[in-house]
Amino acid sequence: MVKKGFILVIVFVVLIVISFLALAAINLMRQQTHLTEHSIKRSKGLLAAQAGLAHAMEELKKGNDPSGNNVLNINGLSVDINYANDNSGPGGTDPVIITVNN
């Protein structure tokens, strides 16, 4: 009888350890999912900003003010282009400011 009771206690301890390991694995997966989502948002934002800058450069080559199309929609992100034609950038250049909003 003592062996059966001892085995039952061991089984309960093993089940508790497995439960804690499962909870730790679930928590780790949740954290990794959050980090992955953040990384994807950052990548999309960077690509949208690069596309906005390419658009601004193309408009400047045509002699147009890229701020005329104030907000672009690129892959669901709003990209705001501001062009200051005032030589206020480094070395007296004209700055192009790209802002991406999620």
Higher-pLDDT residue of 13 and 82 is 13
Residue 25: how many CB atoms within 10 A of its CB?
10
pLDDT single digits (tens) 10-66: 999 999 999 999 999 999 999 999 999 999 999 999 999 999 899 888 888 888 888
Q: How many CA atoms lie within 13 A of 83 on its CB side?
A: 18
3 state DSSP class of 30: helix
